[in-house]
Amino acid sequence: MVYRVFCLLSALLLFGFCGGRNECYSKAKGGEKMNIEVKSSAFQDGGMIPKRYTCDGQDISPPLSWGGVPANAKSIALIMDDPDAPVGTWVHWVLFNIPPGTKELAEKIPPSLSLPDGARHGKNGWGKLGYGGPCPPGGTHRYYFKFYALDIILNVQGGITKSQLLKYIEGHVLAEGQLMAKYKRM
């Protein structure tokens, strides 16, 4: 009986926090966990996001780099969100179909529907394409830059939402990684 309760609670925790998707972990073929290492030259993991990349500054996307994308990946997707927003998780950036050989995004990615390399922007929480920087109404918020290496190129137009992207990539995540940073308005 105790074992059944433990299993049930474990399953509820897993699906409650991960939404039943590949948001918490991913596995390559053979069951081996794969990780993407994500960095920024503008801030450290767990550090503060400089004002330049927020609504209080220039509101431009920060530089990001990564490694550890599996050789068989067909594309990369990026979601940036804020789980501390008072209205629930707020989406700041959705970008997908990033070519798998790409190792970095320069700062100030333009908010166009499609980028020259074929990557496509989705809609952020403001209903706009591209990056929307941190702009918390109060307190210190955490911002997660989540990268997903996929075994597919998505055959969808730009302008999709985070929830749509997560549905499209379900079952196609080969590896994932994230960078978390914080921001507090002064």
Position 12 in a domain: no
Supply the DSSP symbol for 51: G
Name, in order, each residue with C-beta under 8 angstroms of 11's C-beta and a sequence gap of 6 or more: none
Query: Is 168 within the bounds of a domain?
Result: yes
Tens digit of each residue's pLDDT, the chain (186 residues): 433 433 333 433 333 334 433 343 344 444 555 799 999 999 999 999 999 999 999 999 999 999 999 999 999 999 999 999 999 999 999 999 999 999 999 999 999 999 999 999 999 999 999 999 999 999 999 999 999 999 999 999 999 999 999 999 999 999 999 999 999 998
CATH number of the domain at 129, please.
3.90.280.10
* Domain-embedded: residue 44: yes
- Domain residue limits at 170: 26-184
What is the model's pTM?
Answer: 0.83
Count of structural domains within the chain: 1
Does 8 reside within a domain? no
Non-local CB neighbours of 164 within 8 Å, separated by 6+ positions: 122, 156
Which tokens hold the place of 23? 């948001």
